[in-house]
Structure 1
Amino acid sequence: MSITLTDSDKLTLRTAAYGAVSLLVAADATGKPHKIATNGSIALSSATGLVGHVLAEKSKPVNLNGKTVAELADHVLPALTATMSLLNEQAPTEADNFRSTVLVAIEAAQTHQDKPSPTMTEMVRKITAALDAA
């Protein structure tokens, strides 16, 4: 099965994936946001399949600006759900690939911590809920 994503679909996918890592950076209580960003980005760049190709494309930059975590979440969480809905409809195996890619990235982003903070745990719950809402 061949799937063709529009430029808008690709931007939403990248916003969702990189935005999930950005939400964890925003929720970090350890003062090491660079480690979260680096580990999460490495995991995303290791993606395979259609998801990996889209994440690796050089294209229009993802806008992850927001003055607050709430503004960022208002942009990213719906993008996670929209990407899952699109992929579930057009290519269910790629939906599974996207979901696991994001979950690996958020797990990798937390590897510098012995135990995630309650804030980080709650953000992971919100990201997972957005992935599963589709």
Structure 2
Amino acid sequence: MSITLTDQDKTTLRTAAYGAVSLLAAAGAAGAAGSPHRIATDGSLALASATGLVGHVLAAKTKDINLNGKSVAELADHVLPALTAAMSLLKRQAPAEADNFRNTVLVAIEAAARAQKDQPSPTLAEMARKITGALDAA
């Protein structure tokens, strides 16, 4: 079975996945939880290791992701709904890929949270909980 995603669908998936990592990096910076650069790098590397349809979509070199925001709250207002929308979209069109997407994002946020030497800060742990909640809201 071939799965066809529109350009908008692909943008939603990329915005959600990379947005989750960006949200953790922003929350880390706001909470002085370590290096936002290290958080973003480790999370992005995890996304780059995705396989299947999700891996192909995330690996595409595009400039269609808009993750601008002047605060963590503004970024969250954009990213959390995108995570829920991505899961809804994939559950309708490709349930196995929905699981793949969810697992990929969870691995990325775990990798990003481990960018710290010790346990994730309460700030990062709370943001990871919000991201997981958005994934599961679909």
Q: TM-score, normalised by structure 2?
A: 0.94
The aligned residue for residue 20 of structure 2 is 20
- Structure 1 stretch displaced more, 25-34 or 88-97: 25-34
Paired positions, count: 134
Pair 1:8–1:121, CA change in 2 (3 A): same
**Selected match of 1:75 from 70, 74, 78:** 78
Distance in 1 separating the partners of 2:52 and 2:102: 13
Distance in 2 separating the partners of 1:10 and 1:59: 10
Question: Are the equivalent residues in 1 in contact too, given 2:16–2:79 (CA < 8 A)?
Answer: yes
Residue correspondence of structure 1 range 3-14 to structure 2 within 5 A: 3-14=3-14
The aligned residue for residue 64 of structure 1 is 67
Residue correspondence of structure 1 range 1-134 to structure 2 within 5 A: 1-28=1-28, 29-113=32-116, 114-134=118-138
Distance in 1 separating the partners of 2:62 and 2:124: 30
1:111 is displaced (CA, Å) by 1.6
Distance in 2 separating the partners of 1:132 and 1:93: 15
The two structures, once aligned, show a CA RMSD in angstroms of: 0.9
Distance in 2 separating the partners of 1:32 and 1:60: 25
Q: TM-score, normalised by structure 1?
A: 0.97
Structure 1 residue runs of 4+, over 6 Å off? none
Gaps of 5+ in 1: none
Amino acid at match of 1:35: R
1:30 is displaced (CA, Å) by 2.5
Distance in 1 separating the partners of 2:35 and 2:68: 19
State percent identity of aligned pairs: 79
1:95 is displaced (CA, Å) by 0.1
